[in-house]
Structure 1
Amino acid sequence: MRLPSLSDPAARIAAAVALSALAALGTLSVLPTPAAAQAQEPEVTLRFQHFVSPNSANPKHFIEPWAKKVEAESDGRIKVEIYPFMQLGGSATAQYDLIRDGVIDGGWVIPGYQPGRFPEAEALELPFMTPKLGEEASMAAWEFTQEHLTDDFADVHLIAAHMHGPGLIHKKGPAVREVGDLRGLKLRGPSRPATLLLRKLGAQPVGMAVPAFPEALSKGVVDGGVITWEMSPSLKLDELTDSHTDVAGDDALYNLFFIWAMNKDSYARLPDDLKAVIDANSGMFASAWAGRAHDTGDAEGRAVMAAAGNEIAEISPEVTEQIRALGAEVTQEWIDEVTAKGLDGAGLVEDARAAMDRHRGTVGTN
């Protein structure tokens, strides 16, 4: 059949009408029903906050993927918004209270940023307590939390409790070779146990949340500090420091305890099936995932520091043993201190070590 010539005005009008009719039919066939359209809109939006760069290991390898997994498993009914750099307000040191008070729906917390408030958690942060793999240390931390810390964190809804990888000494100038190399240095410490250890080593500890560390280095407020490989690139430690020193052996010089938590009312308001989505992404599973994120970031961060030409060193086993002995003094002094306040210091240390030993060497063996 010969088609009419579209040079004919009447034919052009007829063709346009026909095409419009077909387009309308096509549109009708793909327009969502009102119910389907509503299902695409989230029922709940949860606002979570943290205090570091989104390119840091935990946000990159745990927090953001966790949010996406929760959204997917809720079929889009939950939307999780992640705000880095404390964009919703407040300070990193006040994060726990922001969650408790409902200023935010959830976030990442370092309990040690409030020294003395959560004393039992400090047992996990004592010198040489944890293996160097964050995933192993984090599984142990979740166990210890369930055994000892549920009352401490009763006014938030706990999703995960975890540790990072090994804490290292990053400083201007050459690497640390002897204990005496630390004498008099002003070094940033993230927690009370870390600052107790630095003082025992002869340094001048400066308690400081991580966001303040780069500026303190650039202005000469500190000579260096202790922190992980994974945080080094986002803090520009390849530019601000010259050397990075770890201790010998399989145990970390120090470690830091974190929680990932929700406001209790924000959790309670969820319908049961959406609570189940949060629950499925909580506990031991989420804690191990968070620790594994730090292990991934440690490998990446170390590579960046090496590529910058910075000195990467390991203290000899002999000097490491000297540091261990000083660390043991810190641990005993901590036991004595918290026992005097009515806690079972020796029991807390024993239980923390037992939890670590149960998970030490387990990653990659299953």
Structure 2
Amino acid sequence: MMSFVRRVTIGAAVAACLSSGAAVAEDTFNFRVTSALSPNHGQWQGFFKPWMEKVEEESDGRISFTTFVSGELVKATNEPDALKQGIVQIAAPLLPTYDPALFPMSEVPMLPLAKSSPKIGSLALKALLESDVPLKDGKTFSELEYEANGLVAIPITISEEYSISTTGQRFETVEDVKSVTLRTPSRIHEMYAANVGINSITMPAFDLFDALSRGAVDGSFLFISDWTGYGFDELFKYTVTDVNLGHFASVMAVTEEQWNKLPEDLQKIMLGAADEQITEGAQLWVDRREKIMKETKAKGAEFVSVHDLPPEVSKLLMSGMEQTWFDYIAKLEEKGLPGTELARLWRDIVIEQGGDVPAAIHDL
């Protein structure tokens, strides 16, 4: 398969051959990197920080980075404009899930799954970004989502699977489920919440701590291993696990113009280091989940498998999964986008990587 990133690499290689080899070899690059993540966030610790260290080392200092974390230079969701305006050269990460108007199909990894893990999800996202399967007008996922916006998207570690957590409200009856208000991170979670009768408010994770503290929401769809990145381990007291409500997907992004300025050998170093770090970053999520669950249990937090809930509650929470796929497909197709084709591609990729989808989606 040939991804957009790979095609751009080949184009740059041709350009490099036409240039003075000696001059190109001596080029150095210092990239300004913006991140909405805190320095303690799992994705920063598990992917971006070690990735930058690898790139600096393997490039013998020809690439270096000046980092701005916690949104100190560019606020979350403003990364596309900051890249195009040259304020920064790398978004670490770009958050397409929070900008469905610009990236309408990038929410697809948020669809509920029957089986997944951070490793499965990360490798599935990589395969999606590198897929050569045409979805519309002969164009691939990356061409439609990123090349169309003048961007190169580099695969990174995806999140752990989403669970449902509250500040203490327990799901012992159907009425309990329908009485809470939960923060949703995406349109897909809004659809799922509507399908099971949960009240929802959509907001970025960066705003959630304040909303929980004020009682504006009772909890959130969120993955456990991300709690300490925002201080949620202090607030969440009850969590329903094993619901596999999708993965939060983001990418590392540079402009196509910036990417094409890089010599081929430096492009290869950046891509190779990212490939190496994806599974290592996924393992960090697994390790953090275990540690957080152990520490919060000791402080009274409760973790309950969806399969151990009263049958009517479990049935309600599981029933919304399949319908959410169909709702998402319809939402895309209303806008003239290839909803069915994208859902089938994501389904096939997830299964190829060792995951699984809700039963009805096998027959999509």
Whether the TM-score (by the shorter chain) exceeds 0.5 is yes
Q: Please, which of 307, 311, 319 is the counterpart of residue 316 of structure 1?
A: 307
Q: Is the Cα–Cα contact under 8 Å of residues 135 and 295 in structure 1 kept in the other structure?
A: no
Q: Paired residue for 1:153, among 135, 146, 152?
A: 146
Mapping of residues 259-270 of structure 1, within 5 Å: 259-270=251-262
Distance 1:100 1:181 in 2: 47
Q: One-letter code of the match for 1:83? A: F
Measure the CA separation in 2 of the matches of 1:165 and 1:177. Answer: 25
Greater Cα shift, 61-70 or 198-207: 198-207
* CA displacement 1:311-359 (0-9 Å, x = unmatched): 1221226444432322212221222232232223222211111100011
The equivalent of 1:136 in structure 2 is 120
In the other structure, the counterpart of 2:47 is 62
Within the alignment, does 1:106 sit opposite 2:90 as a pair?
yes
Q: 1:178 to 1:139 in 2, by over 3 A?
A: farther
Please give the alpha-carbon distance, in whole angstroms, between the structure 2 residues aligned to 1:298 and 1:359. 21
**1:213-249 CA-partner distances (Å, limit 9, x unpaired):** 101111112111111112112322232222122135x
Separation in structure 1 between the aligned mates of residue 278 and residue 82 of structure 2, nearest angstrom: 21
Q: Which moved more, 1:180-189 or 1:94-103?
A: 94-103
State how far apart, in whole Å, the 2-side matches of 1:293 and 1:260 are: 18
SS in 2 for 1:225: strand
The structure whose Rg is larger is: 1
User: Could you tell me whether the CA contact under 8 Å between 1:168 and 1:253 is conserved in 2?
Assistant: yes
Distance in 2 (alpha carbons) for counterparts of 1:163 and 1:75: 28
Q: Does 1:302 align with 2:293?
A: yes
CA 1:337–1:355 in structure 2 vs 1: closer, same or farther (change >3 Å)?
same
**TM-score normalised per structure 1:** 0.79
Change (3 A) 1:247 1:361: closer
Counterpart residue identity of residue 175, structure 2: G
Question: What is the number of equivalent residue pairs in this alignment?
Answer: 316
Quick one: structure 1 residues 346 and 99, their matched pair in 2 at CA, closer, same or farther if it must change by over 3 Å?
Answer: same
C-alpha distance in structure 1 between counterparts of 2:90 and 2:215, whole Å: 35
Q: How far, CA to CA, are the matches of 1:316 and 1:265 in structure 2?
A: 50
- Which residue is equivalent to 2:36? 51
Once the two structures are superposed, what CA deviation does each residue of 1:264-305 show, in whole Å capped at 9, x if it has no partner? 3333333333233213224x5454444344333323332332
Q: Map 1:273-352 onto structure 2 (within 5 A).
A: 273-282=265-274, 284-316=275-307, 318=311, 319-352=313-346
Structure 1 runs of 4+ aligned residues shifted over 6 Å read: none
**CA distance in 2: counterparts of 1:123 and 1:179, whole angstroms:** 28
Whether the aligned pair in 2 keeps the contact of 1:176 and 1:315 (CA below 8 Å) is: no
Identity %: 23
Query: In structure 2, what is the Cα distance between the partners aligned to 1:337 and 1:226?
Result: 21
Supply the distance in 2 between the matched residues of 1:296 and 1:42 (Cα, whole angstroms): 39
Deviation for aligned residue 1:141:
1.4
Change (3 A) 1:193 1:270: same
Report the 3-state secondary structure (helix = DSSP H, G, I; strand = E; otherwise coil) of the residue aligned with 1:52: coil
How far apart are the structure 2 equivalents of 1:104 and 1:187? 34
Aligned equivalents of 1:345, 1:136: Cα separation in 2: 22
Q: Give secondary structure in 1 for the equivalent of 2:155.
A: strand
How does 1:204-243 map onto structure 2 within 5 Å? Answer: 204-243=199-238
Instruction: Map residues 19-98 of structure 1 onto 2, 5 A cutoff.
Output: 43-89=28-74, 91-98=75-82
**8 Å contact from structure 2 (residues 100, 107) kept in 1:** no
TM-score, with length taken from structure 2: 0.79
1:208–1:343 distance in 2 versus 1, CA, 3 Å: same
Q: Give 1:162 shift.
A: 4.5
**Secondary structure at the counterpart of residue 349 of structure 1:** helix
Q: Which runs of 5+ in 2 are unaligned?
A: 1-25, 132-139, 357-364
